[in-house]
Amino acid sequence: MNGAHDLGGKHGLGPINPEPETDEPVFHAEWERRVFGLTLATGMLGCWNIDESRYARERQHPLDYLNNSYYENWLAGLQHLLEEKRLAEKQASAGLRIPDEAAARKILAGGSPTALPAESAAKFSRGDRVRVRKIQHRGHTRAPAYAQGAIGEIADCYGCHIYADDHARGIRRGEPLYCVAFAGVELFGPDAQAHEVRIDLWEPYLEHLTP
């Protein structure tokens, strides 16, 4: 879905002026720290996954998304999930995963693996020329809008990994994941610098380049 969250390569939003990492604090205010902590803590309950969490933030009205700060978007997404999953109505005995301190530290340190057994052979190999499909469905996708329709070359295949588009709907299944190399001019036009851009893309995002 091309929403307000998909800002890569868009014109008209002004220059990027990031704070140097050496000067930027981890949190700019105490409430940001609290929102970060609440998001992690509720995520550990096992009621949703990371792609569902991202999709909850994306489903805001575009003006709200653009007007909000980073952690305001996190808070809006968390509020959506709490309402949709009716978490306030659930009790500890209702299947919630409530880790103790040791378990929480283990979850934070280890994360969650994304690799899955492949159900079929990968369709593409290194060196194949591919085009990124134009994806206009209303759900979550990790195919950036600026790459859709662009032509690139398979640089690597990482094996089979959880497919984010389905995972955002609570469906855990895998698709082959590739590293695709693009010329800068292919993505951003003839005035772009001649840099190569590499993007990790799942197999359903790609199609063979026909002569």
**48-76 pLDDT, tens per residue?**
999 999 999 999 999 999 899 999 999 99
pLDDT of residue 91: 65
Q: pLDDT band at residue 7, thresholds of 50, 70 and 90?
A: confident
Query: Which has the higher per-residue pLDDT, 33 or 86?
Result: 33
pLDDT of residue 191: 82
| DSSP string over the chain | ---TT--TT-SSS----PPPTTT--S-SSHHHHHHHHHHHHHHTTTS--HHHHHHHHHTS-HHHHHHS-HHHHHHHHHHHHHHHTTGGG--TTSS-----HHHHHHHHHH----B---SS--S--TT-EEEE-----SS---S-GGGTT-EEEEEEEEEEEE-HHHHTTT---EEEEEEEEEEHHHHH-TTS-S-EEEEEEEGGGEEE---
Please measure the distance between the N-terminal and C-terminal CA atoms of the chain and give it in whole angstroms. Answer: 28
pLDDT of residue 156: 97
> pLDDT for 94-145, tens place per residue?
678 888 889 989 888 887 889 999 989 999 999 999 999 998 878 899 999 9
> pLDDT for 140-178, tens place per residue?
999 999 999 999 999 999 999 999 999 999 999 999 999
**Region 6-30: what's the mean pLDDT?**
79
Residue 122 and residue 154: Cα distance in Å, rounded? 12
Residue 33 and residue 24: Cα distance in Å, rounded? 14
Using the predicted structure, report yes or no on whether residue 17 has a pLDDT greater than 60.
Answer: yes
**Region 173-196: what's the mean pLDDT?**
91
pLDDT of residue 92: 58
> For the CA atoms of the chain, what is the radius of gyration?
19
**Region 22-42: what's the mean pLDDT?**
93
